[in-house]
Amino acid sequence: MNRFMEIKPVVAPVVSSIRPPGSKSLTNRALPIAAMASGRSVLDGVLDSDDTRVMIESLKRVGISVSHDASSSRALIDGVGGLVPIREADLFIGNSGTTIRFLTALLAVAGGEFILDGIPRMRQRPIGPLLDALQMLNLNVEAGSSGGCPPVRISTERSQGGTVRIKGNLSSQYLSGLLMAAPLAAHDTVIEIDGPLISRPYVEMTKRVMESFGVGVKIDQQFGRFEVGGGQTYQAVDYQIEPDASSASYFWAVAAICGGAVTVIGLDENSLQGDVGFVNCLEQMGCDVDWGRGQVTVRGPAKHGIDIDMSDVSDTVQTLAAVALFVDGTTNVRNIAHNRVKETDRIGNLAIELRKLGATVDEREDGLTIRPGQTRPADIETYDDHRMAMSLALVGLRQAGVRILDHECVSKTYPAFFEDLESFLVS
């Protein structure tokens, strides 16, 4: 098997358009919600990737009927009305953070005996704050690795609801998992947030998906208190999943790096996904952005560095870092400490790879400062992180000799990325 992908530089500005595959974040929210609904749901635009496959397989292992046709991006889910059919199972989660966090909350609240585990890296990714919150609901859940990391062991009866408190500066996925599970409790659940809430757009996304399946969430104006009525049942619907905005960031960044005009189809200012806001970062760097109906166009190149808080769009930090190598001046990224406990340390390991490419990088606990230099060829380690592979591949569009090692890791969220990038560049 070829263990690296060498990126070929482009020789002219890129003028092209693309519709990326379905959103991982929306797919992995819609699947468990549809599974808990009453009736058959039809999901269109379903992403086919490692993360979504482990979600589907886990739902099947607890007795839920899910039929997924990858060729049509459609899934049919026969919902179980909140009553999990198989109440004892071992689930393999791979390295999917959304799957383990969402299913931990859902299965603990619904009740049963479950073990959720994954690859070695998953045993280094904290889930303790979510377990602490579930324990406040008198649910028996525990972490099997040091530092509050998986495997997760669940031994519970149906939650009676109650009040929990959770820190807002760790991972919004903890809160999203609690929100999605809360309607399954017998009585109301109140979730109070301690401190500022990071990645708020992802929480808003969760709320809107829940509403599409018939369950509302009461939120105060400061996003500090959430109330969900208990004893509710999600209702089956036909649901259209948007293209993935995080994946779209790579193509918008092509315009920023190479010049030209790149249009992403299927996203606009009304998108459910906060990562559409990545184009605002590019606009600050000197690109032009046109918001159309059902599409967004970025015209480049980017011109200068910026100082920016990326807590709300943290999955696009690596993409911005690739752009930062080709602008004048320094780029400073702040308030992304939670990036250190994702698929890899997305601050420390990103700094290592950017230095290989010729940048001077100052690393902090919650961010990094990038000073571009003369770019140079490099073999890029991916650390089994799909976003490292896809983001830093873009550097090779301007600098010859960039090779992405273990590039197959993109299968986590975008298996066809390199094929789509090649087609996109020649279209």
By annotation, the residues acting in catalysis are 315
Helix (H, G, I), strand (E, B) or coil at 21: coil
Alpha-carbon distance of 62 to 59, in angstroms, equals 5
Q: How far is CA 414 from CA 159, 160, 202, 339, 407, in A?
A: 36, 39, 19, 20, 11
Q: Is the peptide bond before 9 cis (omega within 30 degrees of 0)?
A: no
Other CB atoms within a 10 A radius of the CB of residue 158 amount to: 18
Contacts of 418 (CB under 8 A, 6+ apart): 5, 393, 407, 410
| Paired tokens of 153 | 């062991």
How, if at all, do strands 260-265 and 331-334 pair? Answer: unpaired
Orientation angle between helical segments 386-393 and 348-356, nearest 10 degrees: 30
Chain length of the chain: 427
Q: Are 336 and 353 in contact (CB under 8 A)?
A: no
Q: Are 239 and 34 in contact (CB under 8 A)?
A: yes
| Paired tokens of 108 | 């603990």
DSSP letter, residue 412: G
